[in-house]
Amino acid sequence: MRLLKIMALGLVAGAFAGPATAAPIELKYGHVGAPGSLFDASVNKFAKRVNAQMAGKVHIVTFGSSQLGKDKELLQKLKLGTVDFSLPSTVMSTVADEFGLFEMPYLVKNRDHMHRIEKEIFWPKIAPAAEAKGYKILAVWENGFRHITNNLRPINVPADLKGIKLRTPKGAWRVKMFKSYGANPTPMSFSEVFTALKTGVIDGQENPFAQIYSAKFQEVQKYLSLTGHVYTPAYVTVGKKKWASLPADVRAGIEKIAKQTQGFVYDTAAAMETDLLSKLKAGGMKVNEPDKAAFIKASAPIYKEFADSVPGGQEMVDKAMSLADGS
């Protein structure tokens, strides 16, 4: 009889208990940025916002410094669904030719220009090319304006690059550009660059200030030449198949926050440009202002090749240039 009473009480209690609370969906965000880099700050801000605004539904865990893989590995893992987000930049030009637009030297003038390119060219023409390859881009963030560092000499004109072993990302257009300038470009994963510079396997590299400083390249490089030769966006990227499997309200909330985070990214990047250049100078790097007109003149062949080899390439370049003055 006592057992029956206990069982009855348990049934009554169960009838009044609410449904079990579902655990939030945990999502992994992998990127190659070191602590203190723009990538690291951007991804952590995004995750913090999502985790706060979508508490109980989604929890994003971040992994930097290539902990979950290098750029190409992360892209593969997005397709497999073993990583949920990554922040690729130059490597996207190996996914779809249209991303090569952002490999054209001196194309993007400033962030206002980039806003117009994003609206008029990126979303209508380039983002669909990524989707056709199995990826969805949620927002456009930043890697930044790139500059050359090396241990041999200041780079003032393209001829100064002759024979320099220069690390580049694994993007065909960057390699072609530096070959046309006379350098010996060496594609290499970012995580390997510091050791390669320190041991003399390569002479130099090119990156935005945030990547140079956070990776401590100033400790193994003598010269910083402010070429600003390419502006590289970064893309909040997910695997199309895995993304489609998430609830619609979760997708909508995450995508909204990803786009809203662009403002933080641009503000942080602009502040870093001034602050980090001072720190790189203070760290002992010899800084020079190159002859950008000489580099622009030497870039004509790479523009022609892009226009000739990428369908719609000339139209995209023409449109991007027409947007430089706000028209």
Residue 12 has pLDDT above 80, yes or no: no
Percentage, residues of the chain above pLDDT 70 = 93
Residue 42 confidence (pLDDT) above 70: yes
Closest by Cα among 327, 322, 314 to 98: 314
pLDDT on residue 22: 84
Distance (Å, whole) CA 291 – CA 228: 11
Per-residue confidence (pLDDT) for residue 267, from 0 to 100: 97
**Which residues are paired to 233 by β-bridges?**
142
Mean of per-residue pLDDT scores for the chain: 94
Lowest mean pLDDT among 6-10, 188-192, 279-283, 290-294: 6-10
Torsion angle (degrees, nearest 10) of CA 248, 253, 254, 259: 120
Q: Exposed, middle or buried: residue 194 (CB in 10 Å: 0-12, 13-18, 19+)?
A: middle
* DSSP state for residue 232 in the 8-state scheme: E
The contacts of residue 119 (CB under 8 Å, 6+ apart) are none
Average pLDDT over residues 61-72: 97
Q: What is the mean pLDDT of residues 168-186?
A: 95
pLDDT at residue 13 is higher than 90: no
235 three-state secondary structure: strand
Residues 241-267: what's their mean pLDDT?
A: 98
Nearest to 218 by CA among 229, 207, 227, 230: 207
| Residue that is written with structure tokens 């706060």 in the block | 52
Amino acid 85: pLDDT: 98
pLDDT at position 326 = 75
Q: What is the pLDDT of residues 119-150, one digit of tens each?
A: 999 999 999 999 999 999 999 999 999 999 99
Quote the pTM value: 0.91
* 318: pLDDT strictly greater than 90: yes
Q: Which residues pair with 186 in a beta bridge?
A: 167
Please determine, for residue 324, whether its predicted confidence score (pLDDT) is greater than 50. Answer: yes
CA within 13 Å, CB half, 276: 26
Domains present along the chain, CATH in parentheses: 24-322 (3.40.190.170)
Distance CA 315, CA 295 (A): 23
The CA distance from 303 to 163, in Å, is: 23
pLDDT at residue 20, as a whole number: 53
pLDDT of residue 166: 98
Confidence of residue 21 (pLDDT cuts 50, 70, 90): low
